[in-house]
Amino acid sequence: FGSILEPDDLTELFSVMRKEGDSRAADMIEEAVQEDGGVHGEMLYQMLAVQGAGSPEYYLKRAGFDAIDTGRDIRMLNW
Q: Could you report the per-residue pLDDT of 4-35, keeping only the tens digit for each?
A: 899 999 999 999 999 999 999 999 999 999 99
Tens-place pLDDT, residues 42-70: 999 999 999 999 999 999 999 999 988 88
Question: Looking at the whole model, is its pTM more than 0.75?
Answer: yes
Beta-bridge partners for 66: none
Give me the pLDDT at residue 26, please: 97
The Cα–Cα gap between 18 and 59 comes to 10
Neighbours of 42 (CB within 10 A): 16
Tell how strand 67-69 and strand 74-76 pair up.
antiparallel
* Residue 41, SS3 per DSSP: helix
| Structure confidence at residue 1 as a pLDDT band (50, 70, 90) | very low
